[in-house]
Structure 1
Amino acid sequence: MQSQLQSGLHVFQLKNFNLETLTIKSQALKGNPWNDSVVRHNPVLAPKSKPPRDGYPVVLVLAGFTGNGPKYFGLRTFEANFPQELDQCVSENRAPLALYVFVDAMTFWGGSQFLNSDGMGRYEDYVVKELCQAISEKYPAEQLGKRWCVMGGSSGGYGALHLASKYPEKFSTMAAVAPDSFFSMSLLPEFYVATPTLQSFGGLSAIKKSLSEGEFHQRRDAHSTLNAIAMGLCYVPRPGKSSEPLWPIDKESGELITSVWKKYLSHDPIFFLKNRRKKVAKIKNIYLDVGAFDQFHLQFGTRQIRETLVNQGLKIAYSEFKGNHFDIGSRRPPIWSWLKKVWKK
């Protein structure tokens, strides 16, 4: 028998990549309302081979709600995880050799939507101003704005749409699978699940306490409740008390408070993409994908996004698969094949 003691955690090996961690002590996240750590650990798959003259392309991977960059690296039973599957696709010439950066943007409530919010923190600035700069400084990356892609599914897809449509000079390529959208169907129903739970606990502070003690997340209604709270904090924090979201429905009658709901809708991609028409036109490559049986009805929002982009005269790659929201992890290889194709041009 032979044995070896190694520092760090070694659970799998990759043929084409070294696994590294880009740690950032963020200034942007200082003073965030939930005292979430300003020290962020972003796993990086760095190619082992010598970089090309212009540097490697860059892919930022954004996780969905309750997910996070480091979580992609856990071993899975009976199937490859994200890095293993990507490594295999690169070996088979079905994915581009690039720097893949898995963004650490977790919050106490389970997500940040990768935007700036008084209710959650300045995660947009953290990604755009700090993480992108650190990648450029620490790695042989292509110039920011050339072959830089932001990709994600669900809330990660939302983040990809948001960041690319606001900063096309930085992210020339964008891929979104089942992005959060069409809030009237995907988000509003969550508030009707969350409202009685919020009332039974006696308010947000009691739910926060239960969550801190490791109890709340085990409830059947936990995901919907946390989703409603987190999205409210990200999109419409209460003025003067940003640690609470403005609730879009009356908690007794359930009636929609239209003045508040309009504020939510301003963050819905089916609307903000129209308002960012000039910037959206500067995105060079756009990929959209969604399951036809999405539990959050995101197929309808994604179809509306497609229609908006096509009506703006943009050429996009679009596909639908016969699956649901919890199948979106299987949709990564098509993205990588598409990336390899568009980046060859």
Structure 2
Amino acid sequence: MKRFLVLLSGLLSIVTLGSPSATAQGRIVVETLHSSALQGNRIGDTPDRKITIHLPASYDRDPARRYPVVYLLHGATSDPKEWLDGTYQGMDLGADLDRLAAEYIVVMPMADNRFGGSFYVNSTAFGRWEDFVAKELVRFIDTRFRTLPARQSRGLAGQSMGGFGALYLAGRHPETFGHVYAMSPCCLGFVGDLAMESGRWRQEPRGWLRAMAAAFAPGNGREPSIESPPLPFVAASDGRMREVAVVARAWRNYLPLNRLMRDPSPYRRLCSISLDAGLQDEIPSVTLGATAFSRELGRAGIAHTFVAFTGTHTDHTRERFEASVLPFFARVLAAQDPNKGSGLLLFPSRCE
């Protein structure tokens, strides 16, 4: 595995996108997508979702050219504008893409709600977010913009809850997305603060955990409570924690680590996989979950990269985007881009 990753790194280093130009600037487009998948959700959330799109500088200059696409999913209680307005260490994603001369389109859907996030799954409470991203949004972008409409030319990335969504959706739809990068992905499995023994389950769920519980609540013929959604673990009369089987089973159907352990074949179909996590992340399940996910990929013989960096949940967001995430997609998408004309395919066996 190590020899493969070293060889892969060497191959990736020879792929270039061209020389950045100080004057070459892409542009931001904001669209609204009316979603049938989100209509009728139980919290009354609007099915009209704002979509922020960054088009590369060459998009308007070369009207015959088609482009790869990266779908970028934000975290809980977040908004795509935070990647553009300096919220993360002064980061301006559009300017970073311009400096890199990135020849791919970036699509950022707005997935926030009054619970703080959708978790990008089909939910009885929040609507069919999996269908929205993997079907409606991809179809909308392929219809409206000049894309390369193949999985080899589609990437999926996300941060925190978005990292969860990226790994979940990539594993559910390897026929749609070929490449995935998860930044500090939350909630991958029952580890750390999400383990049954954790004291977190003895408290009323708040914030992202409440959103997660509402999103994952099982549909069993009875509508579960949205305001106080069921939890997978509860305290028994003797004070010990016990598993609520029907709820825990529903959660495991969503948790990417459990899905990978049960069946690694969808992840084996992906062209490339990368993930990272901060060693000082305030949420223990993030680093433990990402480490466990990487370990299970290794056990399944699935090539990937995992970086455990010095930092917390968001204090290195700008650095990770600039040094890792954006260059990652520049390399892997360029390697599959017929516009390059090199014939070089870095993942021929997994990207057919």
Q: TM-score range by the shorter chain?
A: 0.7 to 0.9
Q: Name the residue aligned to 1:149.
A: 155
Q: Name the residue aligned to 1:41.
A: 50
- Residues 58 and 16 (structure 1), Cα distance of their counterparts in 2 relative to 1, 3 Å cut: same
Q: Name the residue aligned to 1:332.
A: 321
Moved more, 308-317 or 109-118: 308-317
1:20 aligns with 2:29: yes
Partners of 2:210 and 2:198 lie apart in 1 by 8
Partners of 1:164 and 1:250 lie apart in 2 by 31
Q: Name the residue aligned to 1:343.
A: 333
Deviations 1:291-335 (A, max 9, x none): 112211222211111111122221112211111112251311211
Q: Name the residue aligned to 1:184.
A: 191
Partners of 1:63 and 1:190 lie apart in 2 by 29
Partners of 1:267 and 1:126 lie apart in 2 by 16
Partners of 2:219 and 2:50 lie apart in 1 by 30
Q: Name the residue aligned to 1:227.
A: 208
Give the Å deviation of 1:188: 5.2
Give the Å deviation of 1:251: 6.3
Deviations 1:250-269 (A, max 9, x none): 36866433123343233222
Q: Name the residue aligned to 1:212.
A: none
- Residues 102 and 236 (structure 1), Cα distance of their counterparts in 2 relative to 1, 3 Å cut: same
1:139 aligns with 2:134: no
Give, as a single letter, the amino acid of the residue that structure 2 aligns with 1:59. Answer: V
Give, as a single letter, the amino acid of the residue that structure 2 aligns with 1:231. Answer: M
252, 268, 287: which is aligned to 1:265? 252
Q: Name the residue aligned to 1:309.
A: 297
> Are the equivalent residues in 1 in contact too, given 2:201–2:231 (CA < 8 A)?
no
Partners of 2:254 and 2:334 lie apart in 1 by 34
Deviations 1:4-24 (A, max 9, x none): xxxxxxxxxx94211101211
Moved more, 64-73 or 140-149: 64-73
Give, as a single letter, the amino acid of the residue that structure 1 aligns with 2:100. Answer: C
- Residues 66 and 262 (structure 1), Cα distance of their counterparts in 2 relative to 1, 3 Å cut: same
Give, as a single letter, the amino acid of the residue that structure 2 aligns with 1:248. Answer: P
1:85 aligns with 2:85: no
Give, as a single letter, the amino acid of the residue that structure 2 aligns with 1:234. Answer: A
Deviations 1:15-44 (A, max 9, x none): 421110121111110000110111111010
Give the Å deviation of 1:79: 2.1
Deviations 1:185-205 (A, max 9, x none): 243589955865x4xxxxxxx
Give, as a single letter, the amino acid of the residue that structure 2 aligns with 1:341. Answer: R
Give the Å deviation of 1:237: 4.2
Q: How many residues are paired up? A: 301
Partners of 2:24 and 2:89 lie apart in 1 by 20
Give secondary structure in 2 for the equivalent of 1:265. Answer: helix
Structure 2 regions of 5+ residues with no counterpart? 1-22, 336-352
TM-score calculated relative to the size of structure 1:
0.79
147, 161, 186: which is aligned to 2:167? 161
1:101 aligns with 2:86: no
Give the Å deviation of 1:76: 4.4
Q: Name the residue aligned to 2:75.
A: 64
1:256 aligns with 2:237: no
Moved more, 168-177 or 296-305: 296-305
Moved more, 182-191 or 151-160: 182-191
Instruction: Give the alignment's Cα RMSD to 1 decimal.
Output: 2.5
Give, as a single letter, the amino acid of the residue that structure 2 aligns with 1:277. Answer: P
Partners of 2:113 and 2:202 lie apart in 1 by 22
Give the Å deviation of 1:128: 1.4
> Are the equivalent residues in 1 in contact too, given 2:196–2:241 (CA < 8 A)?
no
Partners of 1:328 and 1:189 lie apart in 2 by 30
Partners of 2:196 and 2:311 lie apart in 1 by 21
224, 231, 242: which is aligned to 1:247? 231
Give the Å deviation of 1:108: 1.6
45, 55, 80: which is aligned to 2:66? 55
Identity of counterpart residues, as a percentage? 26
Give the Å deviation of 1:101: 0.6
Q: Name the residue aligned to 2:136.
A: 130
Give secondary structure in 1 for the equivalent of 2:67. Answer: coil
Deviations 1:142-178 (A, max 9, x none): 1131210000111111111011111111100000012
Structure 1 regions of 5+ residues with no counterpart? 1-13, 91-95, 199-223
Give the Å deviation of 1:227: 1.7
> Are the equivalent residues in 1 in contact too, given 2:76–2:116 (CA < 8 A)?
yes
Give secondary structure in 1 for the equivalent of 2:191. Answer: helix
